[in-house]
A = this chain, B = another copy of it.
């Protein structure tokens, strides 16, 4: 799905699947984040691990890494993965991960438009629900998602593997 919406704010935005050439811009978004700064490193050319990961996403028809452009520049990204499952009568769910908006355009409606785009993609794919997790420290993000109709119903847990 490659769509352009025109509204003010946030201006004319284009959403499309990420390609290899977007990796530097995506990496810049990852490090332009209070929690991601220590987890990712921008190099030129990018670490091959990023290219491999993007290829794996592209190979999965249920997985989409979306970038949002404004005036030809990537100003945000997010991932949507369709999850099949038996519960709730075989309901498919859309998992939203890694919503990132450039700090220079934050609070301008880009994030809301990006999430709305993912929700519409999930709906078109037959999902009955969208879900996400957000770090407990991202208090502004919690309020942001609540404004978009999300409910904080779950505890998100993780375990690093050696």
Q: Name A residues whose Cβ lies closer than 8 Å to a Cβ of B.
A: 23, 26-27, 30, 36, 39-41, 47, 49-50, 52-54, 56-57, 60, 62-63, 65, 79, 81, 83-92, 95, 97-98, 119, 122-123, 127-136, 142, 145-146, 148-161
Contact = CB atoms under 8 A, between A and B. Distances in A.
Oligomeric state, in number of copies?
Answer: 2
A156 B131 contact: yes
A134 B159 CA distance: 14
Contacts of A160: 128-129
A122 B161 contact: yes
A53 B84 CA distance: 6
Contacts of A83: 63, 81, 95, 97
A135 B153 contact: yes
